[in-house]
Copies of this chain bind each other. A is one copy, B any other.
């Protein structure tokens, strides 16, 4: 099997998301036919005992407690970053400067300054940001339908991201609730997904007006963020992301109204896409639930048969699969660090807008 190029991978971080990445590395070869062989070589972390069991469970050959040393290794071709946000920049920059392929969890950074440096450093190496939800088959189908003109001129974009972690003490004690490590709260954690998806589906945002809200006194980060946006295509949008969306564990949704139709997606039913075709005869118009993946749908050939549900982990597998195919074909992969930087600039404008209680331009 040595006929195919081997990619030895180092994973920095061994939490929940590190496990999800690891799973994708093992699975990608079964669902995507690139000529690369991924080899989970070394996983890096500080807690020796959980690191050992993580490595055993997720098939990592070695463990390490020193990410600097790992980046110096010549036998590592790709570095995957799955640590708290404030560590993304130093690791990613070092890895890129060492010529490694770099994969980084979202949000790319904690500040625009960091993100600019990261994007600059990564320009010379293949890179990826794990905005996995962009690769839900139903979301890719939405993009395809927009490209085909099925919505016509876009009027409205509406995005929600709801979870209820803000009232769960087990979650509010983690690094995600500390400004120095997370950079922000609901904004970076949740809204960043919705923003990236909006850029993917509806193009650039020209200006925003936002409101950050922290419900719990002395909490360092935003519990919720709401905003209005003007897109450069003339449409208007609203976004809301909150850790106080009681009733939902992890729900991202978007809805788009155009002159010819409407699209609606909800992560709670990730194998469905809702479409309203306003060009049908009026008495036959209605919201239609397309089960995705169906025949000829995105990734229909990669995973199981039409009508057989895929889940959360497959969005990571598809991200990695497309990355490897891009690498093989020497084509551009998206979302990359430049895309991550764009989201960071939006997050920054949103934060500024909330502070200044004013509209902020992105230009």
Chain B nearest CB, measured from A225 CB (Å):
10
Residues of B contacting A211 in the complex (Cβ-Cβ under 8 angstroms): 209, 228, 230, 236
Closest chain B CB from A89 CB (angstroms) = 26
In the complex, besides A250-B305, A308-B312, 11 extra interface pairs with C-beta distance below 8 angstroms are: A155-B244, A156-B224, A156-B245, A211-B228, A227-B228, A246-B259, A247-B261, A247-B278, A283-B294, A284-B290, A286-B291
Q: A290 — which chain B residues lie within 8 A by C-beta?
A: 283-286
7 closest residue pairs by CB, A with B: A249-B307, A247-B262, A247-B276, A250-B307, A311-B311, A286-B290, A288-B288
Contacting residue for A246 out of B230, B250, B276, CB 8 A: B276
Is A179 on the interface with B (CB-CB < 8 A)? no
- A209, A251, A278: which has the most chain B beta carbons within 10 Å? A209
How far apart are the CA atoms of A363 and B320 in the complex, in Å? 53
Task: Report if A180 contacts B (CB, 8 A).
Answer: no
Copies of this protein in the complex = 4
- Contact between A291 and B261, CB atoms less than 8 A apart: no
**Can you show 14 pairs from A to B with CB atoms below 8 A apart?**
A20-B304, A155-B215, A155-B244, A156-B244, A164-B278, A247-B257, A247-B261, A247-B262, A247-B278, A268-B291, A282-B295, A283-B295, A304-B311, A309-B311
Question: Which range holds the interface residue count of chain A?
Answer: 35 or more
In the bound assembly, the distance between CA atoms of A238 and B237 in angstroms comes to 12
Q: How far is the CA of A296 from the CA of B283 in the complex (A)?
A: 6
A167 sits at the interface (CB 8 A): yes
A26 interface residue, CB < 8 Å from B? yes
Output the least CB separation between A262 and chain B (Å). Answer: 3
The answer to whether the Cβ of A48 comes within 8 Å of any Cβ in the partner chain is no
Q: Is A289 an interface residue (CB 8 A)?
A: yes
